[in-house]
Structure 1
Amino acid sequence: MSLQSGVRRTLRQALVSTRQHLHHQTTPKQTAPKQTAPKQISPKQTSPTSSSPVRFFSSSPRTPLRDKEGTSGKEGQYARTDHTIQVSYPGPASTQLPPTDNLVKGIGHGGVPTLPTFSLQGKVGVVTGGARGLGLVMGQGMVVSGASLAIVDLNKEEATKQASLILETFKRDNPSSDQIPTITAHYADVSDPSSVQACIQEIISAHGKIDGLVTSAGFTENFEAVSYPFDRVRKLWGVNVDGTWLFATEVAKHLIERGAKGSMVFIGSMSGAIVNVPQPQAPYNAAKAAVRHMASSLAVEWAKYGVRVNVISPGYMLTALTQKILDDNPDLKEKWTSLIPQGKMGKPEDLMGPVTFLLSDASSYVTGADLRVDGGYTCT
């Protein structure tokens, strides 16, 4: 008998044996019912009538647990939105905004060796929402890396003030530099096409060109979806989504007409990939998801022109505005940080390196990417 036929015979015998075993299992002998003792509960299980503490998390999702009233316990019950949390963003030009800390201290001293391709020397960058918060600090990082800067904001007075402070800091930290950046301030309502077009033309007149764009203008609010005023939803989408689209397409037109390469960095959020808890913010999350996919789509469409488009998705960042929110909701910081693997919120200056990398030639083969700066939040 050949080896091959022997193997086939062995397999047939195993199959017959398995079928007999299954038949035996499914067709038990008919016998008289026996009196059995009550089933004993394993120490790993909890009886519905037991006085033991109720466990709301089970190793098996197929075995629903019961609380003392007999209703099913909810696994992951703490990962829910909390309708009591309602934080309204006061708006870019509002006097309700907390004072900014202006510039990051200790950043900008020259003479530190680094890879030459990280330099933004000779480039002109535009940052929307650049008068405060993350946009302001990223703009400072761009200047430290050698770029000239156009700060765009709804509050031009604050933008002008910050432009002056950034320039003063650069001169102080680089007293021997013979290349002083040009830093200008510009007004724009990012959700209005005509305002955006006028702003872009003003920037080009002042700087002669645009090489990089950072779309940092945006805001969030916390309302339950069923009670969210629709006019506010439209405003939120207008700033976060329409504003990103309008600036990106206008800068792209400029780059394509010049036949120049360029880099755009959309400021998204980890909220575009996960659902934040416990605060309800569905429109913001959806808006940031739209920004992320917009970047991917434009990266593919504009690759042939040498225009790269990427996203930075920050996690919870401790800006002046965030600090005000946490002061009003003291339990919120603990809930947020408990879900961050690094155990802390980010600092605005944590975005300086990522934005410089994506705007510079060091990332010349990176486009359509989503760089998450969230302390590991979205990994869990």
Structure 2
Amino acid sequence: MSSFQSGARRALRQALVSTRQHLHQQTTTPRRASPLLSSSPRYFTTSSRLLKDEESPSGKEGQYARTDHTIQVSYPGPSSSQLPPADSLVKGIGHGGVPTLPTFSLQGKVGVVTGGARGLGLVMGQGMVISGADLAIVDLNQAEAEKQAELIVETFKRDNPSATRLPKVTAHYADVSSPESVQSCIAEIVGAHGKIDSLVTSAGFTENFEAVSYPFDRVQKLWGVNVDGTWLFATEIARHLMERKAKGSMVFIGSMSGSIVNVPQPQAPYNAAKAAVRHMAASLAVEWAKYGVRVNTISPGYMLTALTQKILDDNPDLKEKWTSLIPQGKMGKPEDLMGPVTFLLSDASSYVTGADLRVDGGYTCT
């Protein structure tokens, strides 16, 4: 054996002995308590809030990560008087002198928005029209859909007095959970516009019940609108596109609730429904890619609609809990969805399919 190898072994034995002695000293020698392990009050930060955990209102740790059956929240949309003016966003048909990639334009496209007579669907539909698309508004309330269709065109005319062409915006009735109603609605839209190029599935609702007390007929209705309605419109319009041998783009409106569990309001069936919508989009994106039909989802976070604002005004603690979990420290506006939906429907996203675009102020990052 060489002298080098012998020396190396001696050095290794000495290191092992030294390590054992050090470990033994650590386990037997009293140590001064670390400030982090002391019994003094501890402070934890969560987003923009500083909390003393021993002095929380409930007196229990983890209070902000639990559901509360007393919370009742609904998410309707803004009324017609709150429709954003087009000139505050983009003046003109998608450009208005502002340098923009032409691939973001929806000119020559016919889009369908379910649940489009109010709320997020209404505002996204307006964004599609501003970007150049013709629009078919689908809603259970046809009278409201007709009113909003007229308002969108009037707003466009007012903000674009020199426009050589006005958008065609039509209103249609559909019970999105009924196959017969959906088929009839799509036939009516094709009859009015001649074709369909894109779809936004915004019809949906949520309710707040503890799971053990959630009426099953209400669960079925919720899934019927949120899940079945998405499936029925997507498959019918995909069939239309395939028959035309035309490319198309679909955007399913999911929710951050499909990826996380909202607190403090209990809404398990809604969360499960939105998770289903997200995975449905990914599955259909793969299946329909060979036909040139793209399918993506937008998953909004907490959006500040008219009634949501009223609920939060009446429940300031709820607003504090929600916003404290949002890194941007604020809720979103319906207008925040105009850009994402235009991007995903346009040729600017021609290589994007099966994606989930979260518009939540960073909520799901934490």
TM-score, normalized by length of structure 2?
A: 0.86
Aligned to 2:240: 254
- Unpaired runs of 5+ residues, structure 2, are 46-52
State the match for 1:322 in structure 2.
308
Tell me the equivalent position of 1:213.
Answer: 199
Match of 1:185 among 165, 171, 177: 171
1:26/1:374 Cα in 2 relative to 1: closer, same or farther (>3 Å)? closer
Deviation of 1:23 (Å): 7.2
Corresponding residue for 1:272?
258
AA paired with 1:372?
Answer: R
Contact 1:56/1:75 (8 A) holds in 2: no
1:45 maps to which of 25, 34, 37: 37
**Distance apart, 1:365 and its partner CA:** 0.5
Q: What letter matches 2:179 in structure 1?
A: P
* Pick aligned residue for 1:377 from 353, 363, 366: 363
Equivalent-residue separation in structure 2 for 1:98 and 1:148 (angstroms): 22
Mapped partners of 1:309, 1:267: distance in 2: 11
Task: Tell me how far apart the structure 1 counterparts of residues 6 and 62 of structure 2 sit (CA, whole Å).
Answer: 52
C-alpha distance in 1, partners of 2:72/2:323? 19
1:86-165 equivalences under 5 Å are: 86-87=72-73, 99-105=79-85, 106-110=88-92, 111-113=96-98, 114-165=100-151
Q: Which residue of 2 aligns with 1:61?
A: none
Task: Kindly report the root-mean-square deviation, in angstroms, between the aligned alpha carbons of the 2 structures.
Answer: 2.9
Q: Quote the Cα distance in structure 1 between the aligned partners of 2:7 and 2:304.
A: 68
In the alignment, the residues of structure 2 paired with residue 74 and residue 15 of structure 1 have an alpha-carbon distance, to the nearest angstrom, of 51
Counterpart amino acid of 1:45?
L
SS of 1:78's partner is helix
Q: Does the C-alpha gap of structure 1 residues 316 and 27 become closer, same or farther in structure 2, counting only changes over 3 Å? A: closer
Tell me the residue number matched to 1:31.
none
TM-score, with normalisation over the residues of structure 1?
0.83
Specify the code of the residue in structure 2 equivalent to 1:276.
Answer: N
More displaced stretch, 207-216 vs 221-230: 221-230
The AA in structure 1 aligned to 2:173 is Y
After TM superposition, give the deviation of residue 321 of structure 1 in Å. Answer: 3.0
Query: What is the one-letter code of the residue matched to 2:267?
Result: Q
Q: CA offsets per residue over residues 44-88 of structure 1, 9 Å max, x none?
A: 4345xxxx55x5879xxxxxxx989xxxx9653322112221335
- In the alignment, structure 1 segments of 5+ residues that lack a partner are 29-33, 59-65
User: Is the CA contact (8 Å cut-off) linking 1:102 and 1:132 kept in structure 2?
Assistant: no
CA distance in 1: counterparts of 2:8 and 2:206, whole angstroms: 64
Residue matched to 1:362: 348
How many residue pairs get matched?
A: 348
Q: Which moved more, 1:203-212 or 1:102-111?
A: 102-111
Identity across the alignment (%)? 79
Larger relative contact order (CA 8 Å, sep ≥ 6) = 2
- Code of the aligned partner of 2:91: H
The structure carrying a bigger helix percent of its residues is: 2
Query: Which residue identity is paired with 1:101?
Result: S
